[in-house]
Structure 1
Amino acid sequence: MSEWQGRVAFISGGVSGLGLGIAQAFSSAGMRLALSYRNEDYRAAAARWFAEQGREEPLWVKLDVLDRAGWAQAADQVEAHFGAVHVLCNNAGVSVFGDTAEASHADFDWIMGVNFGGVANGIVAFLPKLKAASGRRHVVNIASMAAYLSGPQAGIYTASKFAVRGLTESLRYNLVPLGIGCSLVCPALIRTNAWDSAFRRPAEFAESGFGAINKAELEQFGTAFQAGMDPLEAGTRIVAGMSADRGLIFTHPEFAEDFKAIYDDSLAALPDDIAPPERLEVERLRRAANHAALAGKAISISDLT
């Protein structure tokens, strides 16, 4: 029997794309599901898959991830329906591209609001439920390889994923002592329609600095996604990483060259001199506190000096 059998999982944006692949993999691992959605057609298509596979129908939760009150209601709804919540997967996001030097406040507010704010909203709403539950529990935050790799056409998207990475890596130190696992997931190209987010831009964020959408150009870019990994394969790899209690889950293998360059560039950027003993001691204490947290000790600020 799977260690996840009977665990209750909430997945934001869980009815299409990678979110649906994760939902399918979670279901195959024996989890009971609550899936948030906005698009009724995507929800109906997801429902057909669960019915065709003879799986338990998920609890469908209509949710705008920018809506904090909606998140609180969703958390209460899931707990009331299932009796407990064990797994939170913050997956919902938008992929929007454009010249960051031309970006407007609306561009920043929408992309950061969904990709980072949605994760923060999920954590605030659902962590009390996970803390109140018992047994195997886990927080999964979906970022992107953009959390490590920057580029000229996805500056705000990249910033949002860097933010999710930093939040998740830090949160792990707080959750492990509570017996709750925490994983940062950084997928790369997935066979989805994530590229077309700009077509679904909400009216309240309409004042973009990126200019009018070039439909033909964006659709051409979307053809690259056909080479992507199957969402269910990615979801299956995520479940495997959760089972191994990995803090960092990479789903794609093709980035060794990039990480070597990051490593080499980072070491080359360090000044070539010796730090004074008192600064070395501060950093030793920081490292020791991090190791102690992952070993199960609750860390306070007094542990850092």
Structure 2
Amino acid sequence: MDITSAVVTGAASGIGRALATRLRSAGAHVVLADSDAAALAEVAAELGAEAVPTDVSDPGAMDALAAAAPGVQLVCLNAGIVGKDLGAPWEVSAEDWDNVFAVNVGGVTNGLRSFVPPMLVAGRPGHILITASLAGLVTFPTGGAYPASKHAVVAVAEQAALALADTPIGVTLLCPALVRTGMSTVGEDPAAIADDALAAVGAGRFTVAPDTWSGAITRRTQRLVSGAQPETPAPI
């Protein structure tokens, strides 16, 4: 699919900014969304893209974003937060559970609700790229509400892919490990993650995950099926 128009949420930094940069370099018209209006304006000016400040947890704001990008081909539902409380589940405040799920899960479900129906009506080939995390494919003992929210995002992406299987709209699920973003000062280069994600979109692949973690992902599934107790995952 030759991408001529795209929307990227969480576009002011990290993976979102890298996706926007790659898409603009390829000549696509890109609408950028982020809750940080000042940082978003800077990125939009640098890339020559359109900026629409957006709170992805707000369904009305996502409807407005969709209205600003009629006929969009690629929707990158990428916005996410880690949260303030990073301990075990019972160490996370109720407020943090609500905030993390509102952005990480709500940003995806609101995006699907706002963008998919008009894309289906248009009847043209399109694609939804959903950013989850390795933390949505394996489970760590801490991390606060973030891992649970990303497991939910994985499930929503699978639901969307199944529901859209007989339509012109494809779905790709991006599950990176640590990436150098506003949420982490260490990890993979977001530009490399963006390249992998867009290559998967072009190839029609569903999951993009680090090869070094494939064994841990497989072992988790096997342990769930067998009834064995969970183990802390590690790369091969």
TM-score (norm: length of structure 2): 0.88
Equivalent residues in 2 for 1:142-291 (5 A)? 142-195=131-184, 225-226=185-186, 228-250=187-209, 252-269=210-227
Instruction: Name the amino acid aligned to 1:249.
Output: V
Contact 1:138 1:181 in 2 (8 A): yes
In the TM superposition, residue 145 of structure 1 has moved relative to its aligned partner by: 0.3
Task: Tell me, in whole angstroms, the C-alpha distance in 2 between the residues paired with 1:64 and 1:85.
Answer: 19
- Post-superposition offset of 1:153: 2.0
The residue number in structure 1 matching 2:232 is none
Q: Which residue of 1 aligns with 2:72?
A: 85
1:150 to partner: Cα distance: 1.3
Structure 2 counterpart of 1:13: 10
Pair 47,73 (structure 1): closer, same or farther in 2 beyond 3 Å = closer
Q: 2 CA distance for matches of 1:44 and 1:147?
A: 31
Q: Which protein has the larger Cα radius of gyration, Structure 1 or Structure 2?
A: 1
- For 1:5 and 1:155, locate their aligned partners in 2 and report how far apart those are by CA, in whole Å: 36
Instruction: Assess if the C-alpha contact under 8 Å between 2:19 and 2:191 holds in 1.
Output: yes
Q: Which runs of 5+ in 2 are unaligned?
A: 229-236
| Aligned mates of 1:266, 1:121 — CA distance in 2 | 30
State the distance in 2 between where 1:243 and 1:59 align. Answer: 23
How many pairs align?
226
Work out which of the residue numbers 6, 12, 24 in structure 2 matches 1:27.
24
Q: Which amino acid aligns with 1:92?
A: A
Q: Work out the CA distance in 1 between the residues paired with 2:128 and 2:3.
A: 16
Kindly provide the amino acid, as one letter, of the partner of residue 88 in structure 1: V
Letter in 1 for 2:16: G
Alignment check: 8 A CA contact 1:92 1:118 kept: yes
Matches within 5 A, 1:52-63: 57-63=48-54
The 4+ residue runs of structure 1 with deviation greater than 6 A are none
Matched with 2:234 is none
Residue identity over aligned pairs, in percent, reads 29
Contact 1:4/1:29 (<8 A) preserved: no
Structure 1 pair 264/70, CA: closer, same or farther in 2 (3 Å)?
Answer: closer
**Secondary structure in 2 aligned to 1:177?**
coil
The change in CA–CA distance for 1:30 and 1:175 in structure 2 (over 3 A counts) is farther
- State the Cα distance separating 1:48 from its structure 2 match: 4.8
Q: After TM superposition, give the deviation of residue 267 of structure 1 in Å.
A: 4.4
- In 2, Cα distance between equivalents of 1:73 and 1:34: 12
Aligned partner of 2:62 in structure 1 is 71
Residue 11 of structure 2 aligns to a residue whose secondary structure is coil
1:76, CA displacement in angstroms? 1.1
C-alpha displacement of 1:67: 1.4
- Give TM-score, length-normalised by structure 1: 0.69
